[in-house]
Amino acid sequence: MRPFLYGLKYVIDHQLLRKTRPLIRGLVLTNRCNLRCRHCRLATRGQKDLSFEEIRVAIDSFYQEGGRCLYLQGGEPFVWHDRQYRLDDVVDYAHGLGFLTVVIYTNGTLPIHTSADTVFISVDGLRTTHDALRGKTFDRIMGNIRDSAHSSLYINCTINNYNKDEIGEFCEYVDSIDNIRGIFFYFHTPYYGRDELYIEPDERRRILHRMLDYTRHYRILNSRAGLKSALRNQWKRPLGICSVYEKGAVYECCRYSGDPDLCQHCGYLSYAEIDQTLKMKPSAIYNALKYF
């Protein structure tokens, strides 16, 4: 109930009273990762892991700014540790301080046991496609999902040129897994240039039209309002109420902000959802409530 009331007040403050408070902070615990995915170069950024003390200071500071929603990310956050501290010590610290929702973004290759409120697991298509993009990990991830007792697990899937033709089949497969509550879709963002994964705007629009139809059949977490906003490619960006903290620096929206051309081709659709939720679009509000 508290997250719901917080969300409601946030939307009213933002939309009607024009108050701008930070909403979400992603905390990069480490850029280390146990995988080498085709689309990702975060492991090469070179920063050292955050210490537990640095994490506490960063969490305290965001709380003081008014933030109540924390996203723990990497690299792979489950590989992070500092002396006796593990990922769940960070989750517990944030909860203890008063954070209303703590979310983990993971590649799912390590056991998914956590007291975080929600876990998003990256799976980029059916077995052959996913393994081609992320290394041979599909079966291990599915095993970890089956073995997890967590009640709020979602799939994150980034659509690219390799998996774009199997989205329907993938939705059907994910719907058959009982302890997955839904899929959130992104599009590949060309952080490192328009590579072979990048989907051109016309094609992207065709896919979005198909996805609008899929929302009627499958457990897709993107709302119809969010997908329509993606079709128009017109959600607010960079989205200043969301930020990422990485080793001493806070980035508005994402770690690659400051490049208008990149933002124009951004595929980070969760920000389209937030934008539509703040505009009080019913389908976006309804979907946000599912995991917030």
Residues that bind ligand SF4 (CB under 6 A): 189, 237-238, 253-254, 256-257, 262-263, 266, 268, 271
Residue closer to ligand SF4 (CB basis): 198 or 268:
268
DSSP 8-state code for residue 166: G
CA distances from 207 to 38, 143, 271 (A): 22, 30, 18
| Minimal distance, residue 198 CB to ligand SF4, in Å | 13
CB 26 within 8 A of CB 73: yes
| Minimal distance, residue 9 CB to ligand SF4, in Å | 25
Residue closer to ligand SF4 (CB basis): 164 or 265:
265
Q: Which residues pair with 183 in a beta bridge?
A: 155, 220
For 247, the 3-state DSSP assignment is coil
Rounded CA gap, 20 and 165, in Å?
A: 40
Residue closer to ligand SF4 (CB basis): 121 or 262:
262
| Minimal distance, residue 157 CB to ligand SF4, in Å | 17
| Minimal distance, residue 236 CB to ligand SF4, in Å | 9
| Minimal distance, residue 265 CB to ligand SF4, in Å | 8
Q: Tell me, what amino acid is at 239?
A: L
Rounded CA gap, 31 and 116, in Å?
A: 20
Rounded CA gap, 277 and 226, in Å?
A: 8
| Minimal distance, residue 269 CB to ligand SF4, in Å | 10
Q: Tell me, what amino acid is at 281?
A: K
For 106, the 3-state DSSP assignment is strand
Residue closer to ligand SF4 (CB basis): 130 or 265:
265
Residue closer to ligand SF4 (CB basis): 87 or 241:
241
Rounded CA gap, 253 and 128, in Å?
A: 32
CA distances from 68 to 145, 150, 163, 228, 246 (A): 27, 21, 35, 28, 18
| Minimal distance, residue 124 CB to ligand SF4, in Å | 18
Residue closer to ligand SF4 (CB basis): 262 or 288:
262
Residue closer to ligand SF4 (CB basis): 188 or 237:
237
Residue closer to ligand SF4 (CB basis): 6 or 256:
256
- Residue 229, Cβ density class (10 Å: 0-12 exposed, 13-18 middle, ≥19 buried): buried
Share in percent of the chain as helix, strand, coil (round to 5): 40, 15, 40
| Minimal distance, residue 147 CB to ligand SF4, in Å | 32
CB 133 within 8 A of CB 124: yes
Residue 220 CB neighbours (<10 A): 24
